[in-house]
């Protein structure tokens, strides 16, 4: 498979996209994106498990339930989550789908909608309606990167990547997210398009499987969003039927790259942390431990300080709920073994501190309890995270 | 009941205490405390549920199992957790009990031990042995505050309080803790003494019940310690048998005050946050919601910024696992109603911002799903929390 770092959702055939500003963000930055398939596409999606859900989440689940074989487009606004906005929020969401459908001459139920930003504030519908028109007018086969720009909130850079299979079909995706990231079955927003031909039901199975190994393994702050969604559109424009296993490998590559980019761009982050848990009783136990370590404020602040404070890693594992005997635990921190069979290894603190100054740090924890394995990705917790989130709305 | 803000563990009759420095802390600050009952005391305790446990935790559970009617003393060192220190750590812990018992002329199994500080570093036993001798020599009926000083780590002030019942028996307690605070059946370290006469089994029941309503309701960073313990000693020196219900009320007062002091002294904190959850399906659901809000990094950073960002509170409730319908939720923030029956109330943002500048902020969330109720206490998340924890060991 070939990777294209500079390509986005319009890399596969038959997709156009645009990203424009319509006044939701006070800064005037782009805040409305549209991605359109020239022909009806198979679609699949996974959505937030948060009980408090944005209007777009319910809309999309309904649309995929009835129209998973003929989705035409997704319209995404940033700067406003349209969550906890009551019945008016649902009407606004439907209006976005209706106006987009009118311009594309299809049914509103063929349109997916995404929103991200502040919770509890009504959408400024006059601007949004204008935004739908402008982005429709701006649709272009080279608009993928503009779309990736227009879905950003506290992100410092747009996130996109694409791949091409040896047979020639393509997958291109974009994602956004830098805070309120602790996905549970999805991430904040990721849209991935492909021109491979693939049945919607198979696509849904693959999408859920890939989400569990990519977006669901990242955490920035332990807070699951009300608006998480990961959507895949397959329009078959390449004319090629994709082998499901091969397609999953390619989709995994795109999704993993985007998930990593989200962690790399985590609010205030200075380090990317890769947590590998091995030797657990089960994969589920391993995931529990990896997830607990990845959300520990004490682990994350220690990493910001490049402090090989492995005691905090062990303490987090111990409170995770997974079963293991501390006497059998081994741990390495940035490649330096600090604990072996439950006993402390006499390691060079200064060298470890140097090693942890790296942009990317790997923690490998072996629980000595079985063959379970899992991986989680997180960021460190810095002064800037606090700064960004103490004044997000002001 | 009368409250004595200036009294500690030696307020009840028949207790002496001391706090001295023995060289565990590089700073030379006090790091060894001893609290002694003149006569064998009934004792009860609740301990960390973390799978990774300090040597002292196992020791104390064993001591309470066999000797809950005749505990003589507790010896606590600060600056070193003696956790993840293997077989040597267990030997060191036993040696502390043995040396203390030798000086008090009792059995080692009548001695409880506490440790708090860095994980994974062997105790400097030469200094510790000297510390046992010095603190024994310094034991005094007015040593309660010195003991509270000597158990501090990142605490900025010692925490103690005492009460006297109308009949004259007394309870005095101390606690420490400012980080790695998310107690699960206990808190970092709290020792409470009483001269009331009370059976050890009844005392255990009351202690566990009080812990669940006080120490277990606080969280600073979501990280459960390896060394949490909450121990109560009742030596009966007042000659008065305490009525269990009356005793529980008094013990609750002391424990709640100490628990609140821990949150008030949370690492880097500028605000004390009181989270009340009402109208849940059950008390357990209410506690789940209160606990999730109290550990949300986004809620805590918003509070640092005095931002009435109630969307983050609702989002945290939604991911807690509790069952409720977002349409029935009401929420007030620092006394200002922001959400009623799931709909946003048009409130004065500037006034709310002013209100949230207070040292103490109350969030009241009504889920509209039943009669379940719970309360949790937490701090805000500030720059200084990151600063303190990025360089704790260096």
How far is residue B44's CA from residue B229's CA, in Å, rounded to a whole number?
A: 10
* A-chain residue closest to B343, CA distance: A86
Which chain A residues have a beta carbon less than 8 Å from that of B326? 51-53, 84
Question: B79: Cβ–Cβ under 8 A, 6 or more apart, which residues?
Answer: B24, B25, B31, B116, B117, B118, B153
Q: Using CB atoms, which residue from B81, B315, B386 is nearest to A225? A: B315
For residue range A18-72, what is the model confidence (pLDDT) as tens digits?
A: 999 999 999 999 999 999 999 999 999 999 888 888 999 999 999 999 999 999 9
Which chain B residues have a beta carbon less than 8 Å from that of A341? none
- Residue B262 token pair: 């821990």
Q: Cα distance from B52 to chain A (closest Cα, Å)?
A: 5
Q: Using CB atoms, which residue from B86, B324, B391 is nearest to A343? A: B86
Phi, psi of B87 (to 5 degrees): -65, -35
Q: Cα distance from B127 to chain A (closest Cα, Å)?
A: 21
Task: Please report the pLDDT score of residue B184 as a whole number.
Answer: 64
Which chain A residues have a beta carbon less than 8 Å from that of B305? 389-392, 394
Task: Please report the pLDDT score of residue A283 as a whole number.
Answer: 94
Q: Cα distance from A141 to chain B (closest Cα, Å)?
A: 37
Task: Please report the pLDDT score of residue A314 as a whole number.
Answer: 92
Q: Do A385 and B386 touch (CB under 8 A)?
A: yes
Q: Do A318 and B342 touch (CB under 8 A)?
A: no
pLDDT at A332 over 80: yes
pLDDT at A186 over 60: no
DSSP code, position A310: H
Calculated CA dihedral for residues A290, A291, A294, A296, nearest 10 degrees: -110
* B-chain residue closest to A387, CA distance: B383
Task: Please report the pLDDT score of residue B119 as a whole number.
Answer: 86
Q: Do B305 and A344 touch (CB under 8 A)?
A: no
Q: Cα distance from A323 to chain B (closest Cα, Å)?
A: 8
Give the mutation candidate from B118, B297, B346, B381 for the A interface (greatest A CB count, under 10 A).
B297
- Residue A206 token pair: 């693959």
Q: Do B318 and A225 touch (CB under 8 A)?
A: no
Q: Do B301 and A184 touch (CB under 8 A)?
A: no
Q: What are the b/e assignments for A175-210, b being 16+ CB within 10 Å? A: bbbbbbbbbbbbbbbbbbbbbbbbbbebbbebbbeb
Q: Cα distance from A124 to chain B (closest Cα, Å)?
A: 16
Total residues belonging to chain B: 394
- Band of pLDDT at residue A184, cut at 50, 70 and 90: low
Q: Using CB atoms, which residue from A86, A296, A386 is nearest to B301? A: A386
Q: Do B86 and A221 touch (CB under 8 A)?
A: no
Which is more confident, A118 or B234? B234
Which is it for strands B32-47 and B229-234: parallel, antiparallel or unpaired?
A: antiparallel
Q: Do A312 and B184 touch (CB under 8 A)?
A: no
Which chain B residues have a beta carbon less than 8 Å from that of A297? 221-223, 297, 381, 385, 389
List domains and CATH numbers for chain A: 2-264 (3.60.70.12), 272-390 (3.10.20.340)
Task: Please report the pLDDT score of residue A138 as a whole number.
Answer: 98
Give the mutation candidate from A386, A388, A391, A393 for the B interface (greatest B CB count, under 10 A).
A386
- Band of pLDDT at residue A392, cut at 50, 70 and 90: low
* A-chain residue closest to B345, CA distance: A120
Which chain A residues have a beta carbon less than 8 Å from that of B120? 310-311, 314, 339, 344
Q: Using CB atoms, which residue from A301, A305, A392 is nearest to B307? A: A392
Q: Which of B85, B100, B116, B187 is catalytic?
A: B187
Phi, psi of A178 (to 5 degrees): -150, -10
Which chain A residues have a beta carbon less than 8 Å from that of B49? 319
Q: Do A390 and B304 touch (CB under 8 A)?
A: yes
Which chain A residues have a beta carbon less than 8 Å from that of B53? 318, 326
How far is residue B159's CA from residue B258's CA, in Å, rounded to a whole number?
A: 6
Task: Please report the pLDDT score of residue B80 as a whole number.
Answer: 93
Which chain A residues have a beta carbon less than 8 Å from that of B327? 86
Q: What is the mean pLDDT of chain A?
A: 92
Residue A232, CA distances (Å) to A173, A175, A180, B261 in order: 9, 12, 22, 51
Question: B129: Cβ–Cβ under 8 A, 6 or more apart, which residues?
Answer: B95, B99
Which is more confident, A342 or A98? A98
State mean pLDDT over A238-263. 92
Q: Cα distance from A14 to chain B (closest Cα, Å)?
A: 37
Asked if this assembly's ipTM is beyond 0.85, the reply is no
Q: Cα distance from A333 to chain B (closest Cα, Å)?
A: 14
DSSP A124-150: -HHHHHHHHHHHHHH-BTT-HHHHHHH
Task: Please report the pLDDT score of residue B187 as a whole number.
Answer: 56
Q: Do B120 and A310 touch (CB under 8 A)?
A: yes
* A-chain residue closest to B305, CA distance: A390
Q: Do A319 and B224 touch (CB under 8 A)?
A: yes
State mean pLDDT over A148-166. 92
Task: Please report the pLDDT score of residue B178 as a whole number.
Answer: 79
Residue with tokens 């628990």: B259
Which chain A residues have a beta carbon less than 8 Å from that of B83? 311, 315
* B-chain residue closest to A294, CA distance: B223
Task: Classify residue A125 as left (phi > 0), alpha (psi -120 to 50) or beta.
Answer: alpha
In chain B, which residues have pLDDT < 70? 183-187, 392-394
* Residues of A known to be catalytic: 187
Size of interface A-B (CB pairs under 8 A): 212
Task: Please report the pLDDT score of residue B154 as a whole number.
Answer: 84
DSSP code, position A241: B
Q: Using CB atoms, which residue from A85, A309, A387 is nearest to B392? A: A309
- Residue A243 token pair: 């082998």
Phi, psi of A101 (to 5 degrees): -65, -40
Q: In 3-state terms, what secondary structure has residue A289?
A: helix
To 5 degrees, how large is the angle CA A242–CA A246–CA A252?
115
Which chain B residues have a beta carbon less than 8 Å from that of A295? 222
Q: Cα distance from A315 to chain B (closest Cα, Å)?
A: 6
Strand partners, B160: B174
């Amino acid at each position: 498979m070939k990777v294209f770092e500079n390509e986005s959702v319009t890399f596969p055939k038959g997709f156009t996209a645009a990203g424009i500003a319509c006044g939701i963000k006070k800064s005037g930055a782009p805040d409305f994106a549209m991605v359109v398939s020239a022909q009806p596409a198979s679609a699949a999606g996974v959505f937030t498990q948060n009980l408090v859900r944005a209007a777009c989440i319910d809309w999309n689940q309904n649309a995929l339930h009835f129209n998973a074989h003929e989705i035409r487009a997704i319209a995404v606004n940033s700067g406003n989550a349209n969550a906890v906005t009551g019945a008016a929020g649902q009407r606004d969401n439907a209006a976005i789908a209706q106006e987009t459908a009118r311009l594309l001459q299809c049914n509103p139920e063929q349109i997916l909608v995404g929103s991200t930003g502040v919770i509890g504030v009504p959408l400024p519908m006059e601007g949004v309606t204008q935004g739908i028109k402008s982005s429709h007018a701006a649709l272009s086969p080279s608009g993928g990167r503009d779309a990736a720009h227009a879905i950003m909130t506290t992100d410092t850079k747009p996130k996109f990547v694409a791949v091409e299979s040896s047979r020639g079909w393509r997958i291109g995706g974009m994602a956004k997210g830098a805070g309120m990231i602790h996905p549970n079955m999805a991430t904040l927003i990721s849209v991935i398009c492909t021109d491979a031909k693939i049945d919607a039901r198979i696509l849904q199975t693959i999408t859920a499987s890939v989400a569990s190994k990519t977006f669901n393994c990242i955490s920035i702050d332990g807070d699951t969003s009300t608006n998480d969604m990961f959507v895949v559109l397959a329009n078959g424009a390449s004319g090629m039927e994709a082998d499901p296993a091969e397609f999953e490998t390619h989709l995994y590559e795109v999704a993993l790259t985007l998930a990593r980019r989200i962690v790399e761009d985590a609010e205030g982050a200075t380090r990317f942390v890769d947590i590998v848990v091995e030797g657990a009783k089960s994969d589920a136990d391993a995931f529990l431990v990896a997830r607990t370590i990845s959300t520990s404020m004490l682990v994350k602040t220690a990493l910001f300080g490049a402090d090989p404070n492995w005691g905090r890693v062990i303490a987090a594992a111990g409170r995770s709920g997974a079963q293991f005997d501390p006497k059998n635990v081994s741990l390495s921190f940035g490649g330096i073994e600090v604990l072996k069979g439950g006993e402390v290894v006499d390691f060079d603190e200064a060298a470890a501190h140097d090693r942890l100054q790296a942009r990317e740090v790997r923690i490998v924890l072996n629980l000595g309890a079985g063959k379970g394995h899992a991986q989680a990705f997180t960021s460190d917790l810095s002064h800037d995270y606090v700064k960004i989130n103490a004044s997000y709305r002001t």
